[in-house]
Amino acid sequence: MHIDHVNIKATAGLIEKLREFYHQVLGLDTGPRPAFRDRGYWLYSGDTAIIHLSESPRDPDIEPGGAFDHFAIRVRDLVPVIQRLQETGLEYHESLVPGTGLRQVFFKDPAGTKVEVQGPVAKP
């Protein structure tokens, strides 16, 4: 298990500023991104997309939590994670990452932080 990425959601104009900022400050390059419904960019360090920028109509200056949306953890096997979520009765939702063979499971921790756990498509 390891941290996979951080996701930042912001308005269209701010997304462009963020992309440029992370390019200039950290040297991250824009790279391939699955065909999600929302617009955005994946910013890469070498071959790894470590910051995901997603367009959202919400304004991070007035929204609680600002622009931070979630962090993601990559696992080899999602089955035990899904089973534990079901056993604890914690609400979660699943989706597929288009064209990648990855399944995403989203839930919130007790502090309200959104967590994504992702792994191969197999499910219980």
The pLDDT tens digits for 74-101 are 888 888 888 888 988 989 999 998 888 8
| pLDDT of 73 higher than 70 | yes
Residues 61-67 have a mean pLDDT of: 63
- Domain spanning 2-120, CATH architecture: Roll (3.10)
SS (H, E, C) the chain: CEEEEEEEEECHHHHHHHHHHHHHHHCCEEECCCCCCCCEEEEEECCEEEEEEEECCCCCCCCCCCCEEEEEEECCCCHHHHHHHHHHCCCCEEEEECCCCEEEEEEECCCCCEEEEEEECCCC
The pLDDT tens digits for 14-39 are 888 888 878 886 778 999 999 988 89
Q: Report domain extents, the chain.
A: 2-120
- pTM > 0.85: no
Structure tokens at 5: 């990425």
